[in-house]
Amino acid sequence: MFTPSKKAIPSQSALAFQADEYFWTTLHQGNYQNIPNAEKLLLAAYLKNPNDPKLAAHLGFLHIWQISERARLAQQNPAAVNDIILARKYFSDAYELNPDDARILGFLGVTYLVEGQIFNDQRQQVRGYFTLKRAIVAWPQFNYFTAGYPMSSLPANSKNFAQGLKWQWQNLDVCANTKVSHSNPDFSPYMHLETRYGPKRACWNSWIAPYNFEGFFLNMGDMLVKSGDWQTAIKIYNNAKLADNYVTWPYKSVLEKRIQNAQQNVTAFNQPIDNATLSADQKLIMFNSQFSCMACHQQQN
């Protein structure tokens, strides 16, 4: 207990700058196949300075991306679960070095939760749940979505799926500064609140997540469809079209097919996930799809 903890030391090396630039290029271009190269650069830089919270967080995000969009792979590999273990390690490092960043706390909570689900470790799942609750208190506009997103993969009749969907509604409320109607969730009256500053910037699009707004409503619509409420889901899906850059969104055709097939997708989204269904994006909720991360982060083609 008297051993000093790690202290944050930002990297200033050419290697660290190269790794950071390559990370963002890989992410924004949606180059999933380049994740191993990005990881090598980031890891080389991190080994030179294991006190850099940004490098640690980027390594964590790469591993989250790799397992989240495993549906891209031609052949599934059980070793993919190692990515969630490594993501937890790097987000844990990042949070120790930068405990004021509630985004990192949210991602760390997700890794605890998902790792606990994969290995049927209920204690780890509970740890993840309460870590996410702390993250929500620290930054609700960001972490209501972060916390609820992985719960979309749970059975629709489960308690935690219902909690995840509730958190999406609460995310709307904190972004709109009011309680949004559940029967007519039209977000157009609140579009004037768009900002690039402060905690509420997480409600809108940004350089980091150019289509964050559209991706949020795609996921929430998917969760409502999975719950059986496909009529409200269509209204939620349509909110994505309110964004100024909707016409350039790489996944706009996905959303429009979701609207067309909302009623049929109630059954599809509730099917068990296996290697066969992982290759059929239109039959998968966003969290299990090939665009699990890219729906928000990929720049226009």
Residues 244 and 162 in one domain: yes
Q: What is the pLDDT of residue 274?
A: 72
**Boundaries of domain holding 205:** 141-301
Pick the last residue of a domain from 88, 109, 138.
138
The answer to whether the beta carbons of residues 88 and 112 sit under 8 Å apart is yes
DSSP 57: H
Total H helices, total E strands in the chain: 13, 0
74 contacts: CB under 8 Å, gap ≥ 6:
none
- Give the residue from 86, 94, 93 showing the smallest Cα distance to 66: 86
1 found inside a domain? no
Report the SS3 class of residue 165.
helix
175 contacts: CB under 8 Å, gap ≥ 6:
141, 190, 193, 200, 203
Residues 160 and 120 in one domain: no
Report the domain count for the chain.
2
Residues 102 and 192 in one domain: no
Structure tokens at 284: 């998968």
Pick the last residue of a domain from 112, 138, 164.
138
Half-sphere exposure at residue 12, Cβ-oriented, CA atoms within 13 angstroms: 1
Residues 40 and 100 in one domain: yes
Q: What is the pLDDT of residue 76?
A: 85
Residues 31 and 62 in one domain: yes
9 found inside a domain? no
Q: How is 219-282 classified by DSSP, letter by letter?
A: HHHHHHHHHT-HHHHHHHHHHGGGSTTGGG-TTHHHHHHHHHTHHHHHHHHTSPP-TTGGG-GG
**Burial class (CB within 10 angstroms; exposed 0-12, middle 13-18, buried 19+) of 26:** buried
Q: How far apart are CA 173 and CA 186, in angstroms?
A: 12
Pick the last residue of a domain from 138, 161, 187.
138
Residues 77 and 165 in one domain: no
Residues 160 and 186 in one domain: yes
Residues 63 and 94 in one domain: yes
223 found inside a domain? yes
The answer to whether the beta carbons of residues 144 and 136 sit under 8 Å apart is yes
Structure tokens at 20: 């950071």
Q: What is the pLDDT of residue 276?
A: 61
User: What pTM does this model have?
Assistant: 0.96
Q: What is the pLDDT of residue 270?
A: 95
- Give the residue from 299, 227, 289 showing the smallest Cα distance to 257: 289
106 found inside a domain? yes
Residues 60 and 201 in one domain: no
Residues 149 and 295 in one domain: yes
Q: What is the pLDDT of residue 21?
A: 98
Q: What is the pLDDT of residue 282?
A: 59
Structure tokens at 41: 């650069």
Report the SS3 class of residue 183.
coil
33 found inside a domain? yes
Residues 118 and 169 in one domain: no
251 found inside a domain? yes
Single-letter code of the amino acid located at 68 = S
Residues 130 and 146 in one domain: no
3 found inside a domain? no
Q: How far apart are CA 211 and CA 208, in angstroms?
A: 9
Residue segments in the chain with a per-residue pLDDT below the cut of 50: none
2 found inside a domain? no
Q: What is the pLDDT of residue 280?
A: 55
Q: Where residue 22 sits, what CATH number does that domain have?
A: 1.25.40.10
